[in-house]
Amino acid sequence: MAARSIASLTITFGLVAIPVKLYSATEAAHHIHFNLLHKTCGSRLRQQYICAKEDVVVPRDEMAKGYEFAKDQYVMFSNEELKALEEAGSGAADINEFVPISAIDPVFFDKAYYLAPDKGGAKPYALFAKALRESKRCALGRWAARGKQYIVMIRPVEDGLVMQQLLYGTEVRSIKDIDIPHMDVREPELKLAKQLIEQQSSSRFDPSEYKDEVSERIEAAVQKKVEGHEITTSEIAEPHGGAQVIDLMEALRASLAKKGGAPTKPERAEAKPAAARKPPKSAAAKAAETAPRKKKAK
């Protein structure tokens, strides 16, 4: 089934305008959704909003939105007031700058869209994509839609362009907020870890190698229920992520051996230098030490 465009957009940088079509790059149709039912009769439940003060059901036409500026203190906004604060959609993504693709941490990535040339946009689209690809840069700009303003990154891929919606800096926590203790890494451990990484490395990411096993189990259980079968539950396996590694070197060696590698055994750090070692004694010298000594003649 051919993808359907969800919007039209114009990319502008300088005096260049590129009309494009917008396509959602992700698909949420495979997610399994459950409805809340009344357990005794199986009917769907209807959500209601109850006033905490008067203990009555409040209809939607009597609702307003409020911002809590202090404990249990709100300022109220009408729908018209909030509508007036929204960003007006311009149907354009205005490019502000170009940066190296590696300069943007993927932690800022949000929703992604595919871009395809719209009518009359094939030539500037191809030029823009090739220029980005060869310069190893991406375009950063702003896009207004659905009453909001977004930061967007337009980056080249093998077959075209992707517009990646980005999070604002205030939406991403700093890793410095997390307590990460400093640990010294020994060279032998680092060498084995690199060997393990090299052994399990691939030249490209193949998403078909990864399956959503939880969704598959739920879908199978749903089908059994539809067909009238009972579901038998199995014991939940104990999580193995919290196991404590007693000997890191042995764990690395075992991992390499399990993958079919032949790790080189690193020298022990506590071994004495060769110059400080005493040479082994010969058998004759040992015999001379153990033999009884003769008394000297007077």
Question: Which is more confidently placed, 127 or 208?
Answer: 127
Average per-residue pLDDT for the chain:
82
Rounded to the nearest 5 degrees, what angle is found at the Cα of 86, between the Cα atoms of 83 and 87?
Answer: 145
Give the pLDDT band (50/70/90) at residue 45: very high
- List, as one string, the DSSP characters of 141-170: EEEEETTEEEEEEEEEETTEEEEEEE--GG
* Per-residue pLDDT at 7 exceeds 50: yes
* Per-residue pLDDT at 272 exceeds 50: no
* Per-residue pLDDT at 267 exceeds 60: no
**What is the arithmetic mean of pLDDT over 215-227?**
85
Is the whole-model pTM more than 0.85? no
Q: Give the HSE-up count for residue 48: Cα atoms under 13 Å, Cβ half-sphere.
A: 9
| CATH top-level class of 7-27+87-171 | mainly beta
Res 237: pLDDT: 58
User: For the chain, which residues make up each domain, given as ranges?
Assistant: 7-27+87-171
> Burial level of 89, CB count in 10 A (0-12/13-18/19+)?
middle
**What is the arithmetic mean of pLDDT over 27-32?**
68
